[in-house]
Amino acid sequence: MRLFVLGATGRTGGEIVDVALARGHEITAYARSPQKLTPRERLRVAAGELHDVSALAKAMRGHDAVLSAVGPPARDAFKPCTLMTDVAASTVAGMTTAGVSRLGIVSAAVLFQEPGIFYAFFRWFLRHHRRDLETMEAVVTATDLSWTIARPPRLVQKPVEQYRAASGSLPPNHSFSTSFRSVAAFLVDAIEGEKHVQQVVGVTQ
């Protein structure tokens, strides 16, 4: 498959690229700073702005799916920010123009109404980022695209690819964190198997 990756210079995006390349897919990594990516076999790096619909559409043409792992810098998660919403809007507009219909995108488990003080605290603590994620998801789900939204809890760096997934919630007896690579594996699996189409999915270990 030909996969188009947004956020490839980040930790989840970098894992998406690694997982997809290991499975034999062809990847186009679209980035503002292409010099941060090392060219590899079956990896093409395209330079461009995330808000440039015309450039996105041009680069997306001919791909089977888009995988988006864009996220704000940690410092911006604690103040009003519309990065996720803005990038989602330009992404779906670019996909519509380019004729690409399959989308896998990373959100966060903070949007689930999980019981307990732990999740209540993080819903408050990340309230600005949560609002941006809510609006981002609204942009995506309002389209006719074949989207899959992954909502993992806190992401950590671990060499673990296994995951558990549940539609509409976090899996029972879930952990409070999951690896960047697990989320990447889930999204690539969803694209390969045409699974979880138009579903919001809790992904954890």
**Which residues in 34-49 are b (16+ Cβ under 10 Å) and which e?**
beebeeeeebbbbebe
Mean pLDDT of 9-37: 95
Rounded to the nearest integer, the mean pLDDT of the chain is 92
Tell me the C-alpha distance between 58 and 54, whole Å.
Answer: 6
Could you tell me the pLDDT band of residue 79, with boundaries at 50, 70 and 90? confident
80-105 burial: b if 16+ Cβ within 10 Å, else e: ebebbbbbbbbbbbbbbebebebbbb
pLDDT at 33: 87
pLDDT digits (tens, 9 = 90+) for 32-62: 888 889 889 999 999 999 999 999 999 999 9
Q: Cα separations (Å) of 147 from 70, 100, 121, 176, 195? A: 15, 11, 29, 25, 10
pLDDT at 197: 98
The first and second tokens of residue 61, run together, are: 């043409």
3-state secondary structure 64-109: CEEEECCCCCHHHHHCCCCHHHHHHHHHHHHHHHHCCCEEEEECCH
pLDDT of residue 72 exceeding 70: yes
Query: pLDDT tens-digit profile of 107-147?
Result: 999 898 766 666 666 666 666 788 999 999 999 999 999 99
What six digits make up the tokens of 180? 């960047």
Q: What is the mean pLDDT of residues 67-93?
A: 88
CATH class held by domain 2-204? alpha beta
> In the prediction, which pLDDT does 122 show?
67
Residue 78 pLDDT more than 70? no
- For the residues 12-40, what does the mean pLDDT come to? 94
Give the pLDDT band of residue 6 (cuts 50, 70, 90): very high
pLDDT above 70 coverage of the chain, percent: 91
pTM flag (> 0.75)? yes
pLDDT given for residue 187 in this prediction: 98
pLDDT of residue 173: 84
The CB-side HSE value for 105 (13 A sphere, CA atoms) comes to: 28
